[in-house]
Amino acid sequence: MSTDTALAAEIEDVVFQRRTGGDDAAPFELRVSSLRLHAGEAVACIGPSGSGKTTLVHLLAGILTPHAGEIRLAGARIDGLHESARRARRAREIGLVFQEFELLDYLDALDNILLPIRLGRGDLVAGAARARGLAHALGIAPLLRRVSARLSQGERQRVAIARALVTSPSLVLCDEPTGNLDPESAGSVLDLLLEQAREHEAALLMVTHDHTLLGRFDRVIDVRELARPARRGEAQP
């Protein structure tokens, strides 16, 4: 991926700390010196459990705020924004795909896809048109009015991907969306994600434990090298 491409997201000298247990337990700390995600770039994020992959995703999404450093989304800082502003930007500009897909069972597929637009007060008419287009591309157009509780696992995956892309986000963050899938299904979900993200020129960061999929990404980062989780008092690299 060319470095000339526009930056979708950027992290500089971020420090994040969180208490992990009782008063005596050392707090968890994540440090990220530098991370850049370019538009249309697909990046895999690997690392062992507890190394800070999900924390990194949450920092980029604005769900968590760092104690130090800067996080930029499309060139604009989000770490200093008020929480309500961060939430609004998240709904509008970031697509999220979760491990369990997390569809709302009482909504049909179309309403699930439109959820970020409803919550972010976006243009519902334009959003619906875009949702139908995505549904067509993902092969779920005939299922739009089916309640999500009655969708198969594969259909739910596609609805979750459409939901992540419906706002035309500049950044798509995926937290182990293939974690519970067999290798064949995991590959097809990833292909769909990569295809749609590239088509919409969105940067994609996917947390994964599945090393067989890494070859399909533009870049792979190990959170231990990038972010170096450290216990307080340890010497920093």
Partner 1 sequence: MSGLLYLAWRHARAHGARTALLILCIALALWVPLTAGVLARRYNTDLRARANSTPLLIGAPGNRYDLTLAALYFRPSERIETISYRALDELQAENRATCIPLHQRFTARGFPVVATSIEYAEFRDLRLAEGSDPLRIGACTLGATVAEDLGLKSGDFLYSDPTELYDIARPPALKMRISGVYAKTGGPDDGAVFCDVRTAWVLEGIAHGHVEAEEIDEALVLSRTDDSVSVSGALIEYAEVTEANEASFHYHGDTSLLPLTAVLAVPRSTKDATLLKSGVNARMPLQAVTPSAVIDDLLGVVFRVKAFFDLVGLFLVVTTAALVGLVFLLSSRLRTAEMRTLDRIGAPRSAARTLIALEVVGTLVVAACLSVSATALTLRFLPDLVASF
* Interaction between residue 85 and partner 1 (CB under 8 A): no
**7-18 and 28-38: which strand pairing?**
antiparallel
* Interaction between residue 113 and partner 1 (CB under 8 A): no
Burial class of residue 24 in the structure, from the number of CB atoms within 10 Å of its CB (0-12 exposed, 13-18 middle, 19+ buried):
exposed
Which is closer to partner 1, CB of 38 or CB of 90? 90
* Interaction between residue 7 and partner 1 (CB under 8 A): no
Scanning the structure block, which residue is given the tokens 């307080």? 232
The residue from 7, 36, 69, 98 that contacts partner 1 (CB under 8 A) is 98
Structure tokens at 45: 């994020």
Which is closer to partner 1, CB of 83 or CB of 195? 83
Which is closer to partner 1, CB of 95 or CB of 229? 95
* Interaction between residue 74 and partner 1 (CB under 8 A): no
Residue 34 dihedral angles phi and psi, to the nearest 5°: -165, 135
**Contact letters (x/-) for partner 1, 54-73, by CB under 8 A?**
-------x-x----------
* Interaction between residue 84 and partner 1 (CB under 8 A): yes
**Contact letters (x/-) for partner 1, 139-158, by CB under 8 A?**
--------x-----------
Which is closer to partner 1, CB of 31 or CB of 86? 86
Interacting residues toward partner 1 by CB under 8 A: 61, 63, 83-84, 87-92, 94, 96, 98, 102, 104-107, 111, 115-116, 118-121, 147
